[in-house]
Amino acid sequence: MAQPIKRIGVLTGGGDCPGLNAVIRAVVKDAIFHGIEVMGIEDGFLGLIRNRIRKLDWDDVSNILTQGGTILGSSNKANAKRFYVGKDENGEPRFEDVTDRCMEHYKEHKLDALVVIGGDGTMSAAAEFVERGVNCIGVPKTIDNDLVGTDLTFGFQTAVQIATDALDRVHTTAASHHRAMVVEVMGRNAGWIALHAGVASGSDVILVPEIEFDIDRVCKVCEDRGRKGKRFTIVCCSEGAKPKGGKQVIERTDPTSPDPIRYGGISKLVADEIEKQTGIESRYVVLGHVQRGGTPVAADRILATIFGDHAMELLKNGKFNRLVAWQDGGLTDVPLMESAGRQRTIPEGHHLIAAAKSVGTDFGA
């Protein structure tokens, strides 16, 4: 029989996304109802490294359900096993394993378990602690919806709504000015946001990293539409989309981050090429972090609350090292280690790609 849990730590790691506060609220309120103390760890695993840990009470989580971001702060650079500590004499980044220090802080605060709210990078960081015997529960967060083991992460539906609204808005300018408008959405190597927002907005072309696109074909779509009297084209483009025979466009690399690549800029290339090849005036819009900000849509508030509640159920029942998950339309959980450091991309033949094609959407291939 597992020892009852008396005190837990909760942290939010990786890029922020709408719904983080809703999970924190669900965890803390349920814990208080069951006499469990919650310590908030600030800025993801950085708080465990630097011992920035504080008690969370009812008042701390009251009125945060609808707030975007995270009251705990986050970091996408704090992997204890490979923690950036400055540059060496050659100017190269230097990393240290600071897991022992984290374990001291974990013990100092008398924590019995950690609720780790994050994406694949955060789950990889958590995996180190699982191996050290720490009881962890993962809660899947990311606007990218690319965590292995779950069909849905909270934050995704809000990002899709924001991207859809943006696509709807550029539609009017595209139609009025007879232009091609290319809207770049986030998602790293996964095209989930582009696929969903592209379908929801009725985009004419959707470009995703999973399907290499032929720019000549995209240009032909614009021209063909013109011939049919549609003198504008909307292209929904993933930041990680890749032209045939070409490369993904990297905006910057951050060597201090465990996931150093930041995509950005493909929409400019696509828009410029459409204008060059077809003579159709073209513009691009990079939505960027707008997709991660602000209040979560109702569906994400609900999902985050369900996820937080399930995390607490697992903890109270001594079922550790699990990732809360949504599969086949229902709540479940999977081994946390399975999702660590892996990305879930759109599988070949996905039903939404088929549905998009059936209404005439082109994928540039």
Backbone angles phi, psi at 213, to 5 degrees: -105, 155
Active site residue 300: no
- 144 touches ligand F6P (CB under 6 A): yes
Tell me how far, at minimum, the Cβ of 323 lies from ligand F6P, in Å: 17
Least separation in angstroms between CB 22 and ligand F6P? 18
Nearest residue (CB) to ligand F6P, 6 versus 262: 262
| Backbone angles phi and psi of 74, in degrees to 5 | -145, 165
Q: Do residues 365 and 203 touch, judged by C-beta distance below 8 A?
A: no
Chosen residue from 135, 142, 321, 339 binding ligand F6P by CB under 6 A: 142
Query: Which region, judged by CB under 6 A, interacts with ligand F6P, from 86-94, 127-135, 140-148, 271-279?
Result: 140-148
Identify the CA nearest to 144 among candidates 17, 256, 263, 237.
17
Cβ atoms of 38 and 28 within 8 Å: the answer is: yes
Closer of 36 and 186 to ligand F6P (Cβ): 186
Q: Scan residues 286-325 and list those touching ligand F6P (CB under 6 A).
A: 292
Q: Which residues lie across from 56 on neighbouring strands?
A: 38
Is the distance from CB of 153 to CB of 142 less than 8 angstroms? yes
Nearer to ligand F6P, 79 or 142 (CB): 142
Closest approach of ligand F6P to the CB of residue 330, in Å = 25
Tell the smallest beta-carbon distance from residue 292 to ligand F6P (Å).
Answer: 5
The span from the first CA to the last CA of the chain, in angstroms, equals: 56
Q: Which pair of structure tokens corresponds to residue 363?
A: 């994928």
Q: By C-beta, is 186 or 270 nearer to ligand F6P?
A: 186
User: Would you give the binding string for ligand F6P spanning residues 70-109, x where CB under 6 A is met?
Assistant: ------x---------------------------------
Residue 78 and residue 91: Cα distance in Å, rounded? 20
Instruction: Give the three-state DSSP class for 39.
Output: strand
Contact residue for ligand F6P among 143, 147, 167, 234 (CB under 6 A): 143
CB of 262 to ligand F6P, least distance (A): 5
Taking the complex as a whole, how short is the minimal distance between the CB of residue 187 and ligand F6P, in angstroms? 5
CA dihedral 324, 308, 153, 343 (to 10 degrees): -50
Pick from 9, 15, 19, 209 the residue near ligand F6P by CB under 6 A. 15
Nearest residue (CB) to ligand F6P, 221 versus 237: 237
Q: Which is nearer to ligand F6P, 185 or 356 (CB)?
A: 185
Six-digit token string for 66: 């609808």
Closest CA to 328 of 152, 138, 118, 145: 152
Residues 201-260 that bind ligand F6P (CB under 6 A): 239
Comparing C-alpha atoms, which of 365, 350, 19, 356 is closest to residue 200? 356
13 near ligand F6P, judged by CB under 6 A? no
Instruction: Return d(Cα 297, Cα 294) in angstroms, integer.
Output: 9
The residue annotated as part of the active site, out of 16, 112, 120, 144, is 144
Binding track over 151-190 against ligand F6P, x by CB under 6 A: -----------------------------------xxx--
Q: DSSP readout, 197-262?
A: HHHHHT-SEEE-TTS-B-HHHHHHHHHHHHHTT---EEEEEETT--BTTS-PPEEEE-TTSSS-EE
Closest residue by beta carbon to ligand F6P? 186
**Closer of 57 and 251 to ligand F6P (Cβ):** 251
Establish if 192 lies at the interface with ligand F6P (CB under 6 A).
no
- Tell me, rounded to whole angstroms, the distance of Cα 139 from its chain centroid: 12
Residues near ligand F6P (CB under 6 A) are 15, 76, 142-144, 186-188, 239, 262-263, 292
Catalytic residues: 144
